[in-house]
Amino acid sequence: MAWAGYLVLTLTALLAGYLFWVRLTSHRLQGRGVGALARLFPPLGEGYGRAAIYCYSANCAPCRQMAPAIERLSRQHPNLFKLDVQEHSGTARQVGIRATPTTLLVENGTIIKVLLGAGAIRSLEVFLGSA
């Protein structure tokens, strides 16, 4: 029965490694231009100022949990854009979105911060000036 313990340990290590990889690759987006996102959301071009791109999936439980707050914020702030990664999978892949929900905070056409997970709603409110 010792093999079961090794199996659990191996699966746990693989999951932890994957989560570390997602976090590392997501934070590498900081400092990059919006590129492909500007084609979907033309106002994001240079000089737009502050904006946020909320990347979500309809199948994602944390995304569904955030949906009411995101809808409220999008009504208050025209600079909050929503990207369905299932509908625009090519763009999401090109940008480097590895997990949902991911929120990209953009200033003057450059990604300045990447927020991962459902707990990012408070940071998003502060960034957009709702707090």
Helical packing angle, 61-76 and 121-128, nearest 10°: 10
Choose the catalytic residue: 44, 55, 60, 99. 60
Q: Specify the 3-state DSSP secondary structure of 109.
A: coil
For 56-90, b/e burial (b = at least 16 CB within 10 A) is bbeebebbeebbeebeebbeebebbbebebeebee
Choose the catalytic residue: 37, 51, 63, 116. 63
Whether residue 63 lies in the annotated active site = yes
Whether residue 60 lies in the annotated active site = yes
Catalytic residues: 60, 63
